[in-house]
Amino acid sequence: MNRSHYFWSFILLVALLCTLNWFLYNYQVYRNHYWSYTQNSSFQEDIAKFYPTSNKDVFVYRRRPETENVNCGQVLAGDTAYLKTVTGEYRIKIAENESLNMSCEAVMDRILSRDHVLRPLENGVAFARVVYMDYELIEKHVEMSYHPQNSFCFAIDKKAAKEFKERMQAMASCLPNVLLLPDDLSVDSHGHNTNLAHYNCLRALINKPGWNYAILLQNHDLITKSVYELEKIFNWLGGANDVAIRPELGRLDKKHFKWDPMSLKLFRNESEIDPVILNTTLKFAKGAVQSSLSRAAVDWMTRTVDLTTFIDQWNHGTYGVDEQFTQAFQISDFLGMPGHFTDKCIKKGIITEGITRFAQWTHGDQSKCASKKSRHGICIMGIEHLSMMAKSEHLMFNKVLPLFDYSIIECTAELLFNRTFLGQIHHPLNEEYYSNMINVLYHKHHHEPNYTFNCDNDH
C-alpha cells in the first residue's frame, strides 16, 4: 500500500515537471518567435494600423525634449545643408534634468521599456567603466548596451558630486546586472588609480556569468555598436584580446622598481612557473586605457596572477600612467595570458591600433576637428561624426560631452535602437575585417609549427 502510494506520487511529480518544462520550453520558443516577428517591418506596420495611438511608440526611440527635432536620419544620410542647422551656434547641448525620477520603476522604464523584447545572446559583454560625472549620460550608456545577460560595473571617483553618487546607487540598486564599487579611489586625468578601479571591476565581474568579453571604459566613451553587433564581433575575434599597442616612451620607472614577475609578486602560485619566466622583465608598450579582454584573459588577470603590485608601481609615476596596463600583459607573450599578442610588431615600429577605441588626435590644432573642439589633444565628437561613426569598424568613440553636443549621443542611441529593435541594417558588419585583424590571426595561428607572422598584414 505504502509503496504504491510513493510510486503514484512519483509519477505525478514527474508528470508535473514534464508539464512545467513543456510550458517553459514553449514560452522560450514563443519569445524567440515573437522577437523575430517584431523584426519584420510589415509587423511594425500592422501594429501601427491596429494600435494607432499607444503601441506605435514601441517602435520609436524616445528622445529628450531638447533633441526632439533633430533629424538623425537626415544627418546619417549625409545632408550637409541640414547639418548646418544643428552645428556651430545651433549645436544642442543637454538640458540636465534636476528632478529626474530615480524610483526603480522609472529607471527601468527609461533603460528598457517593458514593450521591448531582447532575444537571448549566445554570449554577453561586461562593461567596466570608471565614472565621475554626467549621470544621465551614464544611464544612457546602460540603456544603449542593455541586455539582461550583459553586466555593467562602475567605479566611481571619490571626488564625484554627492548627487551623482546617489543617482548611481539608485540605478545599481534597481538592476541586478549593474555593479557599483565603493567610491574609495580618487582618479585623476593623469591616470592615477584608473587601472586599479578597472581591476577591481574585473574582479567583481568575473563572478558574473553570461559574458565572454569585457571592455574597459571611461566616463565619456560612447559604445557605437548594438548588443547583437558586439556579440558577433567578439565571436569573430575568437578569444583574441583587442589592445592598442604603441611605443612607450620612457615613463617606465626602472630606478625604483623591478618589473619581472617575481619582483611584481605576479603569479599567485609560483611553484609551477619556470624560474626563467619568473626572472624575465616584462615588455612594455603604451596604448589606451580602453581595451577588450576575453573572459579567459580576465580570469587569468584576476585568478592566476595578482596585478596589484604592478598597478601600484605605475601609480607612482607622474602622468599618463594608466596606458601601459593591459598593453604589458598583451605583449609579454612569455607570461601566457589567454588571447595575448606579441611585441614583434612594436619592436619593428609597427603600431597596432585595434578596434576598441576610436580617437581623433588634434596634433595641436583644434580646428582640425570636425567639431572644432578638443580636450587633452583629442577631438570631442559632435553630430558631424555620426555618419562616419555608423560606418566605422570601431566599437567606441572617445569622447562625447553632453554639455558640448547632445545630438551625437541621442542620434547614436537612436541608431542602435533602430538596429536592435527595428532590425535596420545600413552598414552590415564586415566579418572579413574583424576576423583578419592581426591580433586575431596571431591568436588563431601562433601555435602552428610553421606559422610565419607578418606585422604588415594589419589593416
Ligand X SMILES: *[C@@H]1O[C@H](CO)[C@@H](O)[C@H](O)[C@H]1NC(C)=O
Span near ligand X by CB under 6 A; candidates 64-72, 157-165, 247-255, 430-438: 64-72
The three cell numbers of residue 326 are 593591459
Q: Which stretch binds ligand X (CB under 6 A): 97-105, 146-154, 188-196, 434-442?
A: 97-105
Residues 274-293 that bind ligand X (CB under 6 A): 279
Residue listed under C-alpha cell 588626435: 361
- Nearer of residues 52 and 364 to ligand X, judged by Cβ: 52
The reply to whether 151 sits near ligand X by the rule CB under 6 A is: no
Q: Which one of 73, 148, 210, 320 is in contact with ligand X (CB under 6 A)?
A: 73
Q: Which is nearer to ligand X, 70 or 181 (CB)?
A: 70
Burial class of residue 219 (count of CB atoms within 10 Å of its CB; 0-12, 13-18, 19+): buried
Residue of 19, 103, 318, 454 interacting with ligand X (CB under 6 A): 103
From the list 103-111, 210-218, 228-236, 451-459, the region that binds ligand X by CB under 6 A is: 103-111
Q: Beta strand 178-185 with 292-294: parallel, antiparallel or unpaired?
A: unpaired
CA distance 411 to 387: 10
8 A C-beta contact, residue 331 and residue 343: yes
| Closer by beta carbon to ligand X, 290 or else 418 | 418
What CA–CA distance (Å, rounded) separates 295 from 86?
41
148 binds ligand X (CB under 6 A): no
d(CA 375, CA 416): 26
Q: Which of 19, 101, 113, 173 binds ligand X (CB under 6 A)?
A: 101
Q: Which three cell numbers stand for residue 15?
A: 508528470
- 105 touches ligand X (CB under 6 A): yes
Q: Of 192 and 225, which CB lies nearer to ligand X in the complex structure?
A: 225
449 is a site residue for ligand X (CB under 6 A):
yes
Interaction of residue 114 with ligand X, rule CB under 6 A? no
Contact call for residue 450 and ligand X (CB under 6 A): yes
What's the min distance (Å) between Cβ of 138 and ligand X?
A: 16
Identify which of residues 384 and 414 has a Cβ nearer to ligand X in the complex: 414
The reply to whether 80 sits near ligand X by the rule CB under 6 A is no
Angle formed by the axes of helices 135-144 and 104-111, nearest 10°: 50
H or E segment to which residue 271 belongs: none
- CA quadruple 389, 141, 59, 39: dihedral sign: positive
Contact status, residue 380 vs residue 371, Cβ threshold 8 Å: yes
Backbone angles phi, psi at 358, to 5 degrees: -105, 125
* Residue 454 sits in the site that holds ligand X (CB under 6 A): no
Q: CA nearest 128: which of 116, 145, 111?
A: 145
Q: Which residue minimizes CB distance to ligand X?
A: 73
* Run of H or E residues at 130: strand 124-131
Gyration radius of the chain's alpha carbons? 24
For ligand X, the binding residue among 38, 67, 70, 72 (CB under 6 A) is: 72
Closest distance to ligand X from the beta carbon of 261 (Å): 11
Indicate the residue type of 195.
Answer: N
Give the interface with ligand X as residue ranges (CB under 6 A): 40, 42-43, 64-65, 72-73, 76, 97, 99-101, 103, 105-106, 269, 271-272, 279, 411, 414-415, 418, 422, 449-450
